[in-house]
Amino acid sequence: MMVSKIGVRTLLVAAFFVSVGLVSIVLQPVDEAQAIYNPPACGIQDDLWNLQTTYRSYYNDKCPVDNVTLLPHRGAPSPNAGNIQNVDAISYGYVIPRAWVGGPDVLANTFSKTDFYNKLVAYNASADPWTKMGAAYVVHLALGDNSGGSPTITPAQWADLFNRLSNPSLTMAWDPAYNITQNSASVWLDNNMAGFPDGGFNMDMAKVVSNSPNFSGALYFQVAGSTVFAIEVKCANVLGTFNGFPAYTPFDLTPSISGPSGVVEAGGTIAVATPHVNNTGGTSAGSDWQLTQTIVAPGGAISQTQTQSASLPCINYGSPANTCNIVKQGNQAFASGDDPTIQAQQLTNIAVPDKPPGTRICFALSVNPYGASSPAGEWRHSPAVCVVIAKSPKLQIWGGDLRTRGRIMTSASTRGAAQFGSWVEYAAFSTGSNPDAGYNFASGAGFAGGTNTSKPGHNLLTFANNTVGSYGNYALPAMPSVAAQFTGSTPVVAPSQPAIGAASLSLSGYASGTYTLTSNDVTLNASDLKGTSIVLIAPAGGTVTIAGDIRYLSPSGSDTFAGLSELPQLIIIAKTINISSAAQNVNAWLLTTGAGNMINTCSDVPLGADLTSTICDTLLTINGPVMTDSLYLRRTAGADDLATADVPAETFNLRADTYLWAANTTTQSGRVQTDQLTEAAPRF
């Protein structure tokens, strides 16, 4: 059964050989002939190798066999079954000749599968037809391919052989005493013995099975401990009954990282960074891998595309401004597909260093070798996947309460062991339900200086009539319009002054009084109010842009006031009040009226446009009451690192001078009357 199987397989690989001029071989002296053919386990006979001695006698006496299975004969006449089985006209020799006269073993010093491949390529390129077609015979059998006896190996077949040999599961070893009882050889046959020495016209390959075990040096190839191919070292004779090397698609490794994205604050954590290696071929050879973390300074660069280079990973991702570290590394074979073993190396809860905003924390994976034919020492580097260190600017309200007929939406940050967030010094009231359970905004100055208290401890003065869920939902009574107190027919700040028609002005030197603005859009430049009290009233739908600092000074220009009457005050009433980044200290009441009214603390860029840490990055302090429907807090100052974590972007300060001025003005122009009462919880 084994022989018939070989016959079927080798039948289609037949007829490699054309005429190779065998007369010179036939006429060799007997010792040279024996060196060429070297029949295994054959005794020395008295017969001489010459034209008068039939080969049948020599063959049968010296090397008896059980049977011979011939490949299809290239020449004519074709052999018949009787001639094959009777071995009437058969001679056999090496598949690839050993330099004709006992030369060196053709596969000697073959130390690797690459050496084996390169030798077959060289033999197939030989000018000697026997050597060329012998190599083709080996290649076709190694591919499990019959090819109709073609002596030609196509580029695709060479590539297929290379791929199969690159299979890391295919191992090659040398055995000095391998069983070569089932052998193959080149053969000459002719139905008419008289025509035997005809120059090799009838030359083919045969499968030979000896009637006794024989042993010789051989290379054998195994997959998972099972031999799949064997070949004699001295002559490249294919041995045994095997189907050749298994088909193999070369491994091709593509590294990547998943998980990190978006922004994160310094002192926070990155949830997860998971390495992946996708292998589009068969199981890879052992490959080195490195998982790296790189810190990229603001404005710095890092490769975010897949690259191949001989540079080590940290050289590839690093630069003079970058800091790269190997987080994990190893060596392993990668299975086909997205190998789960490397995913198990994921990083979790990665601490974000205390670096300035704009710094990127990047992760990448590199592998070497990344393919069966990748250049030695060359790495494939994944695109770097980064998160950007950002910051959450904070708000502080001093000297008063925060009241809103909506929701309070701010953020809290963790830096080290402390939490930082926006806060109001006294009470917080909101009719809406505050997100994040209301914990991100603190009342009673709960976040002042940072805190490590429990979250409910941040909200001791946050009013709520909702017993479950987030804080808020407090039923506030309708709030009176403060602006209406200044826009009546009788000005609170008298006397009435001429209307202002300028589109840009400074209030320095203006007298006390109530002024109306006739331009719909007015820019208020830096101004010093020296003991003056001014009310600016914009037309309905008008906009006032504060483009510089507004300062309060005594009539002498100093910061020392002789009495309440010297206290200056500025009240601005408009639908929209914009504050540019040039204004850092605004002493004024900011009161907006009309549908859709608002205050914007950074008018340098349109609402909705992206902000960066370099836009409106100065602290804005507003000293005075603020009342508006929508307050857009868009300053980006503070919270850069642990040292500035408690520095706010905006501070709203209801100072004592506001109360003193209001009390003085009211007592001069009328009486103090209680408008409403609200019962609040006591504060201890």
421 and 310, same domain (yes or no)? no
Stretch among 291-295, 496-500, 559-563, 678-682 having the lowest mean pLDDT: 678-682
Ramachandran sector of residue 209 (left: φ over 0; alpha: ψ -120 to 50; beta: rest): beta
270: Cα separation from own chain's centroid: 15
Please write the tens of the pLDDT for every residue from 577-634: 999 999 999 999 999 999 999 999 999 999 988 888 889 999 999 999 999 999 999 9
**Domain membership flag for residue 87:** yes
* Banded pLDDT at 465 (limits 50, 70, 90): low
**Domain membership flag for residue 55:** yes
Stretch among 223-237, 409-423, 467-481 having the lowest mean pLDDT: 467-481
Q: Match 């926006």 to its residue by tokens.
A: 422
135 and 162, same domain (yes or no)? yes
12 and 31, same domain (yes or no)? yes
What is the pLDDT, as a whole number, of residue 212?
73
How many Å apart are CA 552 and CA 660, to the nearest integer? 14
384 and 305, same domain (yes or no)? yes
31 and 65, same domain (yes or no)? yes
Please write the tens of the pLDDT for every residue from 334-371: 999 999 999 999 999 999 988 889 999 999 999 999 99
What is the pLDDT, as a whole number, of residue 56?
32
- Which tops the pLDDT comparison, 210 or 625? 625
507 and 454, same domain (yes or no)? no
Stretch among 24-38, 341-355, 365-379 having the lowest mean pLDDT: 24-38
**Domain membership flag for residue 515:** yes
**Domain membership flag for residue 465:** no
**Domain membership flag for residue 464:** no
Mean of pLDDT values over 373-398 = 93
404 and 363, same domain (yes or no)? no
Task: Look up the CATH number of the domain holding residue 384.
Answer: 2.60.40
496 and 571, same domain (yes or no)? yes
Q: Which domain covers residue 431, as residue numbers?
A: 395-459
% of the chain at pLDDT higher than 90: 48
What is the pLDDT, as a whole number, of residue 25?
21
* Banded pLDDT at 668 (limits 50, 70, 90): low
Mean of pLDDT values over 677-683 = 72
How many Å apart are CA 295 and CA 155, to the nearest integer? 47
Please write the tens of the pLDDT for every residue from 60-69: 333 333 344 4
Boundary-marking domain end, from 239, 267, 297: 239
216-254 burial, b if ≥16 CB within 10 A, otherwise e? bbbbbbeeeeeebbbbbbbbbbbbbebebbeebebbbbb
- In SS3 terms, 547-601 reads as CCCEEEECCCCCCCCCCHHHCCEEEEEECEEEECCCCCEEECEEEECCCCCEEEC
What is the pLDDT, as a whole number, of residue 39?
33
What is the pLDDT, as a whole number, of residue 431?
84
Residue 655 scores a pLDDT above 90: yes
What is the pLDDT, as a whole number, of residue 636?
93
* Banded pLDDT at 32 (limits 50, 70, 90): very low
**Domain membership flag for residue 583:** yes
Stretch among 32-36, 166-170, 407-411 having the lowest mean pLDDT: 32-36
What is the pLDDT, as a whole number, of residue 42?
35
What is the pLDDT, as a whole number, of residue 201?
41
Please write the tens of the pLDDT for every residue from 72-126: 333 333 344 333 333 434 445 678 877 654 678 899 999 999 999 999 999 999 8
Please write the tens of the pLDDT for every residue from 251-272: 899 999 999 999 888 888 899 9
What is the pLDDT, as a whole number, of residue 147?
57
Number of domains in the chain: 4
How many Å apart are CA 500 and CA 514, to the nearest integer? 10
**Domain membership flag for residue 683:** no
293 and 342, same domain (yes or no)? yes
Burial class (CB in 10 A: 0-12, 13-18, 19+), 482: middle
| 8 A C-beta contact, residue 233 and residue 219 | yes
74 and 135, same domain (yes or no)? yes
**Domain membership flag for residue 518:** yes
Boundary-marking domain end, from 215, 239, 263: 239
235 and 134, same domain (yes or no)? yes
Residue 40 scores a pLDDT above 70: no
Sequence-ordered list of residues with C-beta below 8 angstroms from that of 622, at least 6 positions apart, any chain: 586, 588, 590, 650, 651, 652, 653
442 and 526, same domain (yes or no)? no
